[in-house]
Structures are given as structure tokens and as C-alpha cells.
């Protein structure tokens, strides 16, 4: 049976992994948005391309957050990746609300589903990828 200290340490490590995953997800989505904005300027794309690029950036951020959360914790990638994706989008929604850009509706629900699912997939990939070591 695990001691209380071991259980608390496990929870602390899981929460820390999710928090780092959220940060990595935000950074990954920022990089994607910068890439998409450069692409839109260079290719003279229509304004209608903004929405698909935004959804792609959200999906990429969820995946990146889940990937890092799963990789850091080492197991339970589905749960931790999904949590990282959920809290990543929650952070985006809260920051949008603080900036006066709050929007509720079907699009938010779709973004939440996309973020949680891509985060879960990222967590699974993160747990199942291992660094290859060179054997001397």
C-alpha cells in the first residue's frame, strides 16, 4: 500500500506536468499563429482563412500541451493530456473574457472538444515516445 506522502507526490507531479503542458500548449499555439500570420501576409490569403487557422492553432496547442504533459509524467497520457487540453482552452477563454472578447456558443463547445481530444492524443503520443539512447 502506498503511503500518504507517495500519493501526494504523485498528485503533485501530475499537476505540475499538466501546468507545464498548458504553458507549452500556449507557446505552441503562439508559434502556429505567428506562422499562419506570416503565411497569410505572404500568400495574400482571404480573411475567411482566419477561422480555420485559429482552429488549427487551438488543436495544435492542445496537442502540444498534452504531448508535454504525458511525456513529463510518463504514464496516464490520456487523462493528463485531456486535462492539459481542457485547462489550456479554459485559459484562452478566460484571457479572452478579460480582454472583452468573450463568446459563448457552439463554437466554444467545438473548440473545447477539439482541444481535449487533441490534448488526449498528444498525451498518448507523449507517453509512448521515448528518447533513443546511443549505446557505446
Q: Where are the alpha helices (DSSP H) in the chain?
A: 4-43, 50-73, 77-98, 106-128
How high is the mean pLDDT of the chain? Answer: 86
What digits encode the pLDDT tens for the residues 80-110? 999 999 999 999 988 888 887 767 777 888 9
Task: Please calculate the CA angle 10-14-20 and round it to the nearest 5 degrees.
Answer: 145
| Global confidence as pTM | 0.84
Q: What is the separation of C-alpha 1 from the centre of its chain, rounded to a whole number of angstroms?
A: 34
61 phi, psi to nearest 5 deg: -65, -40
6-10, 60-64, 128-132, range with the lowest pLDDT:
6-10
84 neighbors 69 (Cβ within 8 angstroms): yes
Question: Does the pLDDT at position 62 exceed 90?
Answer: yes
Neighbours of 21 (CB within 10 A): 32
The Cα–Cα gap between 122 and 69 comes to 8
Q: How far apart are CA 91 and CA 95, in angstroms?
A: 6
Percent of the chain's residues with pLDDT above 90: 50
Which residue from 81, 75, 80, 50 is spatially nearest to 63, judged by alpha carbons?
81
Amino acid at each position: 500500500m502506498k503511503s500518504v506522502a507517495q500519493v501526494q507526490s504523485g498528485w503533485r507531479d501530475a499537476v505540475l506536468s499538466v501546468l507545464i503542458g498548458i504553458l507549452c500548449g500556449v507557446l505552441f499555439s503562439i508559434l502556429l499563429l505567428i506562422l499562419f500570420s506570416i503565411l497569410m501576409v505572404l500568400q495574400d490569403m482571404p480573411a475567411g482563412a482566419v477561422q480555420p487557422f485559429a482552429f488549427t492553432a487551438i488543436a495544435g496547442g492542445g496537442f502540444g500541451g498534452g504531448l508535454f504533459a504525458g511525456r513529463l509524467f510518463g504514464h496516464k497520457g490520456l487523462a493528463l493530456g485531456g486535462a492539459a487540453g481542457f485547462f489550456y482552452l479554459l485559459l484562452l477563454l478566460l484571457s479572452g473574457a478579460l480582454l472583452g472578447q468573450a463568446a459563448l456558443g457552439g463554437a466554444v463547445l467545438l473548440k473545447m472538444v477539439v482541444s481535449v481530444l487533441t490534448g488526449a492524443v498528444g498525451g498518448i503520443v507523449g507517453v509512448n515516445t521515448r528518447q533513443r539512447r546511443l549505446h557505446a
